[in-house]
Amino acid sequence: MARIVISIDPLPTERPRARKQLVVCSRCGPVGGPHGLHTLATAAQDHHLAQHKAALTTPTTSEALR
Ligand SMILES: [Zn+2]
pLDDT of residue 48: 96
Q: How far is the centre of ligand 1, averaged over its atoms, from the C-alpha of 19 (Å)?
A: 23
Q: How far is the centre of ligand 1, averaged over its atoms, from the C-alpha of 36 (Å)?
A: 20
Per-residue pLDDT tens over the stretch 11-61? 887 776 778 999 999 999 999 999 999 999 999 999 999 999 988 776 555
For residues 45 and 14, give the distance between their C-alpha atoms in angstroms, rounded to a whole number.
25
For residues 11 and 66, give the distance between their C-alpha atoms in angstroms, rounded to a whole number.
27
**Cβ atoms within 10 Å of 41's Cβ, excluding its own:** 21
pLDDT at 62 over 90: no
- In sequence order, which residues have a C-beta less than 8 Å from that of residue 55 and are 6 or more positions away? 61, 62, 64, 65
pLDDT of residue 56: 76
Q: How far is the centre of ligand 1, averaged over its atoms, from the C-alpha of 34 (Å)?
A: 15
